[in-house]
Structure 1
């Protein structure tokens, strides 16, 4: 995957069409994800974490311009240390997407968030990738598009819980702006009805760890026990007494002379 070809493609009208919608989704999706560490894997030319407020945000990628030069399938990040991982279009351009997901599962801390975007093979974009001309074999058409149900299965096997999936880019992938404009009604209909197959999907998942249970301090029970142990003075027939039972009642016998 050559960076230059990707940058050139995103400068086209179709690339701008896609980039505008992806940036809009990521801006909204990461804004309210809290924690300490967030990492964007791939595409260092674009800051998809710009609206996130975590103190440490960086991009890990094998291309020049990344904050950390690293392959996505072997991240130099400590295990269980990251609160958010964002992966834009990394799986469909990797020879081993399963290893990338395993690596992401490793670096994410329990209850950490994963946001993935990918090209949908069950769409007009996927059809163009299958039947496009050889000269169109660059980005993104040479990628191995992964169907959304398959990706959900992979994540479920890695103990992720799917929390949201969305789609965008319902218009056909025309290379001319005038045709994209004419078919803009498909974009609006797809977003409103949710029945059309978008060219790009977004998937949000949370890493779950089986057997974990959040233990909260039982402050109410502690205070209740303390109150029960403290004697409270009461006035009975003109004399002060406590709420403790009589001695005879405590030892289970009656005073002598009583039956």
Structure 2
């Protein structure tokens, strides 16, 4: 994925990286996230913002990056259930084994933790641009784009509950020669999209939560069942109360 890192070093890549980092930061602000793992390095020290006493680690197998951990996303050097949030930065569409990547991310998540997947959307103008560039290996058009529904299905198979996703970057970046001409005009391809346009954003952020079912309470025997009084407070049946009084009288 070194060529993807090289694209993020371009002006178009830097603009998108900034927009994605801000979007991730907004989502992290609403989550319990003491331990955050970002899989995939934007380069240049770009990272989402974490809040309070939270700690963020960046993992990548890119030798030229400023990472905390150097490893493959298919084999994370972390114990199961050890992080609160895992953020995958364009990992699934460019991995040889995307199922293994998302499986490892889910394994590292603590119970009730969140998985955030950032990827390019095939049902967008970016996806159309990729189809027109078929056979070319230039970034970011060489990957296998995955829709939000498919990523959500993968999450459900791993026991994660998908949450409403976000979309940004409605318009793909202009070619470099055209970007020079349009440099004086503000670019809008990286702006956040409203709910009605998130499905066609060039980049989507799909989120899922790892839910762990709690223990099932044992069923009470018939002579220990509780009756509800009109106030809604559970109390023992009259027979049980009388039996309790008799035991107290005998001991007195």
Q: Unaligned stretches of 5+ in structure 1?
A: 215-223, 226-244, 252-259
Task: Report the TM-score, using the length of structure 2 for normalisation.
Answer: 0.74
1:84 and 1:54 mapped to 2: Cα distance? Answer: 14
Q: Alpha carbon RMSD of aligned pairs, Å?
A: 3.2
What is the CA deviation profile of residues 106-149 of structure 1, one whole-angstrom value per residue up to 9, with x for unaligned ones?
Answer: 11111001111100011111111122175x52221111111111
| Contact 1:171–1:183 (Cα < 8 Å) also in 2 | no
Distance 2:5 2:108 in 1: 28
Task: Mark the CA change 1:76 to 1:132 in structure 2 (over 3 Å): closer, same or farther.
Answer: same
Matching of residue 194 in structure 1 with residue 204 in structure 2: no
Change (3 A) 1:149 1:182: farther
2:207 aligns with one of 200, 204, 208:
204
Give the match for residue 63 of structure 1. Answer: 62
| Superposition map of 1:219-234 within 5 A | none
Aligned residue for 2:129? 128
TM-score, structure 1 length as denominator? Answer: 0.72
Aligned equivalent of 1:148: 148
Alignment of 1:28-43 (within 5 A): 28-43=26-41
2:7 corresponding residue in structure 1:
9
The 3 A distance-change label for structure 1 pair 87 and 127 is: same
Unaligned runs of 5+ in 2: 218-233, 236-244
Aligned structure 1 segments of 4 or more residues deviating by more than 6 angstroms = 180-183, 185-189
Larger radius of gyration: 1
Residue 171 of structure 1 corresponds to 171
**1:44–1:61 Cα contact (<8 Å) kept:** no
Q: Aligned partners of 1:88, 1:28: CA distance in 2, in Å?
A: 16
C-alpha distance in structure 1 between counterparts of 2:112 and 2:199, whole Å: 32
